[in-house]
């Protein structure tokens, strides 16, 4: 019950905010017709955009907006012009009818189901606005004895309705695209982490299979030698390990579905680089470092291996950020070299000593320690090496006190199609 009250209050607050913004926005206006207070303002634009941005009880919003707009205009007129409250009320009553009719039209057409169909949404809202404007003009005819039913006037209403409707749809589509890109980037980042884990989970499954076979061999040997109790214990251990493998297989199957290509489609290399730069720029800012990113590519194509590429490039870029003390530059470049796509990641951090260059891709290697002096897991670069090997590629590293460069070469066909 308490949650429902909170939701109700939040909704009412939102509706009153729409009404207030609409009333104020409607004062930014033009009056295209002579001898009438009819206006084209920003009010309907604000009302429509607000109802798109957040789920809104449109009929309730229309009623409250009609009332607030009328009260607002009457108050403004009364304080600035020599006119009675009653006369001002009847002057602006048709505007209240417009917002009420506009809300009814939007509700009946169920515009939220067309939020991802901008052309249809724009046309339906333009129809709603024209209908509401005609209703407002009818009210003005009855209240103010104003007659405007001319083809020229109708065409003006139609043109303005189309312009305003598609203007709002354009703004909303831009917001929607930005949100979708953000969700895609988050999904790709999660997918890249899961993708790496599937490689090591599969590797663990192979080890489990080997241990299970060894346990079963031990059982047979002990049985032949007459060690019944020991042989049964060995068999029990082999069976338990086999159960662990089956659990791992179920987990592997579930994760594989999440990171499968059908879940993410394919994206262009340029877009992938944008995600890497954006995510790691935020990481560098979080660490309080001033790092300049230089992105360069002379080829661009759709890739089916964006998850693997995102995982390995994020790892190398994050390592580069951590290697830079306070200020530095990280350069990521992609170019074509015969049948291979070559990717380089360079930084001007503290570098890697020459005697460590040969072991940095070994599992367990690390130079990172937490505040308590405990070493990190040291599996980052081994992840990178495993990912590149899976793509039939190679990786090399060069480093001195001024610069570190990782160079990756992967067959272009593999990156484009995902076929290794």
- The string of pLDDT tens digits covering residues 231-259 is 888 888 888 887 887 887 787 777 777 66
Q: State the average pLDDT over residues 47-63.
A: 87
Q: State the average pLDDT over residues 282-305.
A: 89
Identify the helix (H) or strand (E) that includes residue 407. strand 404-411
Q: State the average pLDDT over residues 38-51.
A: 77
Average pLDDT, the chain: 79
What distance in Å separates the CA atoms of residue 358 and residue 290, rounded to the nearest whole number?
30
Indicate whether 118 pLDDT > 70: yes
The DSSP secondary structure of 373-398, one letter per residue, reads SPBP---HHHHHHHHHHHTT-EEEEE
Indicate whether 33 pLDDT > 80: no
Range of weakest confidence among 107-116, 242-251, 256-265, 351-360: 256-265
Q: State the average pLDDT over residues 207-215.
A: 82
Contact 107, 58 (CB under 8 A): yes
Q: State the average pLDDT over residues 201-209.
A: 73
* Structure token pair of residue 234: 């060995």
Q: State the average pLDDT over residues 198-221.
A: 78
pTM of the full structure: 0.53
Indicate whether 330 pLDDT > 90: yes
In this predicted model, what pLDDT tens digit does every residue of 140-193 receive, in sequence order? 777 766 655 567 677 777 887 888 888 888 888 887 777 767 776 666 666 666
What distance in Å separates the CA atoms of residue 225 and residue 398, rounded to the nearest whole number?
57
100: number of Cβ within 10 Å: 19
- Burial zone of 269 (CB within 10 Å; 0-12 exposed, 13-18 middle, 19+ buried): buried
Range of weakest confidence among 15-29, 149-163, 193-207: 193-207
State percent of the chain over pLDDT 90: 13
pLDDT of residue 144: 67
Place of tokens 């870029």: 317
Confidence label for 331 from pLDDT (cuts 50, 70 and 90): very high
* Structure token pair of residue 35: 């001898």
109: number of Cβ within 10 Å: 16
Confidence label for 311 from pLDDT (cuts 50, 70 and 90): confident
pLDDT of residue 4: 44
Better-scored residue on pLDDT, 394 or 384:
394
């Amino acid at each position: 019950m308490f949650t429902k009250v909170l939701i109700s209050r939040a909704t009412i607050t939102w509706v009153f905010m729409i009404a207030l913004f609409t009333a104020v926005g409607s004062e930014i206006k033009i009056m295209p017709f002579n001898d009438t207070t009819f206006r084209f303002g920003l009010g309907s634009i604000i009302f429509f955009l607000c109802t798109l941005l957040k789920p809104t009880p449109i009929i309730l919003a229309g009623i409250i907006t009609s009332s607030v707009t009328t009260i607002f205009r009457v108050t403004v007129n009364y304080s600035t012009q020599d006119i009675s409250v009653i006369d001002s009320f009847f002057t602006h009553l048709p505007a209240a009818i417009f917002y009420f009719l506009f809300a009814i039209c939007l509700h009946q057409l169920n515009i939220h189901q067309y939020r991802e169909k901008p052309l249809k949404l724009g046309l339906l809202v333009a129809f709603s606005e024209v209908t509401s404007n005609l209703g407002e003009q009818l009210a003005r005819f009855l209240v103010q004895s104003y007659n405007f039913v001319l083809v020229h006037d109708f065409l003006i209403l139609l043109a303005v309705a189309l312009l305003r409707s598609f203007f709002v749809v354009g703004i909303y589509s831009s917001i929607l695209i930005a949100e979708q890109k953000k969700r895609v980037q988050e999904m790709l980042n999660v997918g890249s982490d899961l993708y790496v884990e599937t490689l090591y989970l599969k590797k663990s499954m192979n080890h489990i299979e080997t241990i299970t076979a060894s346990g079963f061999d031990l059982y047979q040997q002990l049985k032949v030698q007459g060690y019944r109790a020991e042989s049964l214990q060995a068999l029990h251990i082999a069976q338990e390990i086999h159960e662990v493998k089956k659990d791992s297989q179920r987990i592997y199957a579930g994760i594989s579905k999440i990171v499968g290509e059908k879940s993410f489609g394919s994206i262009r290399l340029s877009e992938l680089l944008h995600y890497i730069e954006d995510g790691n720029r935020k990481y560098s800012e979080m660490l309080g470092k001033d790092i300049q990113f230089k992105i360069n590519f002379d080829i661009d194509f759709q890739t089916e291996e964006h998850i693997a590429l995102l995982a390995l490039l994020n790892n190398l870029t994050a390592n580069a950020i951590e290697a830079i003390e306070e200020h530095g530059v990280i350069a990521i470049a992609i170019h074509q070299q015969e049948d291979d796509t070559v990717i380089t990641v360079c930084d001007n951090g503290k570098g890697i000593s020459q005697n460590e260059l040969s072991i940095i891709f070994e599992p367990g290697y690390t130079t990172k320690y937490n505040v308590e002096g405990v070493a990190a897991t040291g599996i980052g670069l081994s992840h990178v090496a495993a990912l590149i090997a899976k793509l039939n590629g190679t990786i090399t590293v060069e480093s001195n006190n001024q610069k570190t460069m990782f160079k990756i070469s992967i067959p272009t066909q593999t990156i484009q199609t995902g076929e290794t």
